[in-house]
Structure 1
């Protein structure tokens, strides 16, 4: 019931945004040097092999997508803390200067920190919280999975930075239309579809 009320509130907010508004959906994902394992082909009777170096490393990719256009912004960080999220907010402010930005995101502590909310308010970015424990409502979560399947699965790179660069290049290399389709935003079942139709301006 609480989730349904939050979804209704989000739709109302998006339906009453002022002119020159842009709605972005934001999320982060961790990349590990140890690859995620996926189903893969191998000769009959021969187990598939995934070679590992024996040591691991981590990077965090911050990303967002414009729900109207599919335009994406990414930033690579060493971790996911409040100051890292705030650095991403500054990047979004530079990218969408002159637009009223509303950011849909989850309630991670890096997002809800008072310092993060203060930076968002200073930059004129409205934070709109998604219901808790509902990753299926965030199209970026689907996009992360597609990128990991294409770039990270079953292969360990020479360095975590090489892997992260290829991961971001892959997702940034999608056309806007491909990103909207891959993430599920173009689906007739997308939960914000009605709220978005003929509502938002489209920055170049």
Structure 2
């Protein structure tokens, strides 16, 4: 089973696409000014199934927990990863991947080429839908909205089209 994985940070901020304003005036934009966020880990497989999980941070602890969820869903896989530091340089992750090398075969996306990963399209769509020119009432509201979005949407993306880009 071919599986692609990635993470994305959803900041508790507005994402402005376009705004109407009187010519010569400055638009009024609501913003929190904070750096609080939620992080999503996501995967798509060649059979069309997907797995999304929310974490407080993008780090090796979250990644190792997510790998355990992936292994339960896909007992044997070829896993495509980007070269994030906690994917390839964190000792506990290296040990984990070596321990499970018979069931998880890792392949790396090229450096600086996120367009090869179809999950990037899932993040783009989610951010446009959930954060597009709106400011959630709170971080908890942002978490609820993103949870609803990633639990109810099915992404019908052709993995091989992206991988052979």
Report the TM-score range of the alignment, normalised by the length of the smaller protein.
Answer: 0.7 to 0.9
Relative distance call for 1:91 and 1:146 in structure 2 (3 A) is same
Instruction: Output aligned runs, 1:115-194, within 5 Å.
Output: 115-123=92-100, 124-175=103-154, 179-181=155-157, 185=158, 190-192=162-164
Q: What's the offset of the Cα at 1:69?
A: 2.5
Q: How many residues align?
A: 161
Relative distance call for 1:53 and 1:106 in structure 2 (3 A) is closer
- TM-score, with structure 1 as normaliser: 0.69
Determine helix, strand or coil for the equivalent of 1:180: coil
CA contact (8 A) 1:38 1:153 kept: yes
For residues 54 and 114 of structure 1, the distance between their equivalents in structure 2, rounded to whole angstroms, comes to 35
Which residue in the other structure is 1:58 paired with?
37
Which residue in the other structure is 1:90 paired with?
68
CA contact (8 A) 1:25 1:105 kept: yes
For residues 186 and 26 of structure 1, the distance between their equivalents in structure 2, rounded to whole angstroms, comes to 11
Q: What's the offset of the Cα at 1:47?
A: 6.1
Match of 2:18 among 39, 42, 45: 39
User: Larger % of helix: which?
Assistant: 1
Could you list the per-position Cα deviations for residues 103-144 of structure 1 after superposition, in whole angstroms to 9, with x for gaps in the alignment?
A: 101010111123112223334322211110100101111110
Which residue in the other structure is 1:6 paired with?
none
CA contact (8 A) 2:80 2:106 kept: yes
CA contact (8 A) 2:12 2:37 kept: yes
Match of 2:47 among 65, 69, 81: 69
CA contact (8 A) 1:89 1:120 kept: no
Relative distance call for 1:101 and 1:191 in structure 2 (3 A) is closer
CA contact (8 A) 1:102 1:125 kept: yes
- TM-score, with structure 2 as normaliser: 0.84
For residues 125 and 164 of structure 1, the distance between their equivalents in structure 2, rounded to whole angstroms, comes to 30
Which residue in the other structure is 1:14 paired with?
none
Segments of 5+ residues of structure 2 without an aligned counterpart are: none
The answer to whether structure 1 residue 101 and structure 2 residue 77 are counterparts is yes
Segments of 5+ residues of structure 1 without an aligned counterpart are: 1-21, 194-204
